Amino acid sequence: MSTDLHTGFDEQQYPHINKGLDGIVAFSTTKSFIDGAIGELIYAGYSIDTLAENATFEEVCFLLWNDRLPNSEELAALQAELIKERNLPEVVLNYLTSTDKEAEPMAVLQSAVSMLADFDPTKGKFDSELFMSQAISITAKIPSIIASFDRYRHGKEVIAPLDSGSTAFNFLYMLNGEEPGTQAEKTMDLCLILHAEHGMNASTFTARTVCATMSDIYSSATAAIGALKGPLHGGANTAVMKTLLELEKEGKDADAVAFTKKKLANKEKIMGFGHRVYKTFDPRGRHLQKMAKALSEETGHEELYRWSMDMLNTMKSEKNIDPNVDFFSATVYYSIGIQPDLYTCIFTMSRISGWTGHFMEQAANNRLIRPRALYVGEKNLPWVSVDER
Ligand code: SDX
């Protein structure tokens, strides 16, 4: 049995490393419950199906921040607060309209969210009385950040936020320069609900880790954005669209089955499929699949849905792997005219509600998050001077 003299670390006590913390339960939470075997997702007591059919994104924000749904006065107050907080500090707007137009939208979003801390007079105070108003402010500002940069990079006039309307309505208005139709607003609102919260995913774990050092909510959100950006996580939706557009190059009769099998044969990961927890169809995907079918037909892009189903059936038969939340969201966003490199920004616009909900939960019962690592390197080597190495 070997024991590390420095730390009294007995390797026999830790013979197995859970790579990727697979299966490790590190927290208790009231924010969400996932049953990966049956494909169940609950946000603070309400199933994702109940919320998808009845709630608005603003009600889901309140639910994740308070562990209960708002009454009508509370909902009206939250909506008013979110509207009031949509405006960006001038310095942030100046950054968004002067940075490199070719910059990656998620990188610009991450920088802009980080800058918001400069304009919060309470910055540096780790005070639970402040977290709710900070969560509201960041949630309200992210849509304005995304839309303002996108308008600027396309040489269009930046549009000021509305002083009315839902988060979804205002975002589409600021992005497109015209008021969205009811269907487009409902589609965006439902996408925001479906992406809001998902337990201990990589970006939420990141958000909690930053909170646990008693840093600040802006740093927590900025770090989480960095984690979400990766193609194995939130970046997958943009990667899914790239895959579908690759198929499109082969024409409307492209063979998505052969395309998928070839990628698998090359040991490539097919973006939008697989999940660390779900071992069946992601329940969020069901709602997105319905929207993708309807919207792709409405917009004359039914081949996107046909290819998606061919890929889905091939992944199931070849690898017994199901689609995750990112797979059909790509077709939905494409069908409502959103540019693929904005898809993960939209994921962020929604998940900020879950991240900040977890931030408040972590802060309320905090302990520094600090796992161990099994040292497998050399020990006690003799010093060799540089001219002898
Ligand atoms: C999100 O955690 C969350 O909750 C995340 C999320 C949320 O709401 O926050 O749900 C959002 O991030 C969804 C996931 C988006 N990512 C992708 O679509 C990228 C593609 N998917 C894979 O990279 C993968 O499925 C992960 C990263 C999502 C999960 O990976 P795991 O749990 O580490 O599983 P693994 O990579 O060890 O794969 C197990 C097996 C492997 O086969 P073998 O090598 O054992 O033969 O399944 C295969 C993998 O090769 N596999 C895939 C695959 N996913 C898994 N093979 C091809 N294509 C895939 N997509």
DSSP secondary structure letters along 71-116? -HHHHHHHHHHHHHTTSPPHHHHHHHTTS-TTS-HHHHHHHHHHHH
Please work out whether the CB of residue 324 comes within 6 Å of at least one atom of ligand 1: yes
Pocket test for ligand 1, best of 233, 271, 312, 347 (most atoms within 8 A of CB): 233
pLDDT at 33: 98
Question: Residue 35 pLDDT more than 70?
Answer: yes
Quick one: 93 and 143 in the same domain?
yes
pLDDT at 344: 97
Rounded to 10 deg, the angle between the 325-335 and 283-298 helix axes is: 20
Pocket test for ligand 1, best of 269, 321, 322 (most atoms within 8 A of CB): 269
pLDDT at 13: 63
Summary mean pLDDT of the chain: 95
Domain of 298 in residue numbering reads as 236-335
15 within a domain of the structure (yes/no)? no
Q: Tell me which residue of 321, 341, 349, 343 sits closest to 330, measured CA to CA.
A: 343
Centre of ligand 1 from the C-alpha of residue 186, in Å: 29
Active site residue 275: yes
Question: Residue 121 pLDDT more than 50?
Answer: yes
Quick one: 90 and 187 in the same domain?
yes
Q: Which CATH number belongs to the domain containing residue 80 in this structure? A: 1.10.580.10
81 within a domain of the structure (yes/no)? yes
274 within a domain of the structure (yes/no)? yes
pLDDT at 123: 76
In this prediction, residue 130 has a pLDDT band, given cuts at 50, 70 and 90, of very high
Quick one: 254 and 356 in the same domain?
no
Rounded to 10 deg, the angle between the 302-319 and 283-298 helix axes is: 150
Quick one: 191 and 248 in the same domain?
no
104 within a domain of the structure (yes/no)? yes
Sign of CA dihedral 238, 240, 243, 249: negative
Q: How many domains does the chain have?
A: 2
Quick one: 68 and 93 in the same domain?
yes
pLDDT at 248: 95
Question: Residue 2 pLDDT more than 70?
Answer: no
Pocket test for ligand 1, best of 22, 198, 232 (most atoms within 8 A of CB): 232
pLDDT at 10: 60
In this prediction, residue 331 has a pLDDT band, given cuts at 50, 70 and 90, of very high
Centre of ligand 1 from the C-alpha of residue 240, in Å: 13
Quick one: 285 and 299 in the same domain?
yes
In this prediction, residue 124 has a pLDDT band, given cuts at 50, 70 and 90, of confident
pTM (two decimals): 0.95
What tens digit of pLDDT does each residue of 20-30 get?
A: 999 999 999 99
Half-sphere exposure of residue 130, counting CA atoms within 13 Å on the CB side? 12
Q: What is the mean pLDDT of residues 141-150?
A: 98
355 within a domain of the structure (yes/no)? yes
Quick one: 60 and 204 in the same domain?
yes
pLDDT at 15: 66
Quick one: 190 and 240 in the same domain?
no
pLDDT at 6: 47
Please work out whether the CB of residue 284 comes within 6 Å of at least one atom of ligand 1: no
Centre of ligand 1 from the C-alpha of residue 51, in Å: 26
Q: What is the mean pLDDT of residues 281-310?
A: 96
Please work out whether the CB of residue 357 comes within 6 Å of at least one atom of ligand 1: no
pLDDT at 4: 46
Q: Which CATH number belongs to the domain containing residue 299 in this structure? A: 1.10.230.10
Quick one: 325 and 213 in the same domain?
no
CA distance 238 to 340: 5
Q: Which amino acid is at 364?
A: A
Centre of ligand 1 from the C-alpha of residue 17, in Å: 19
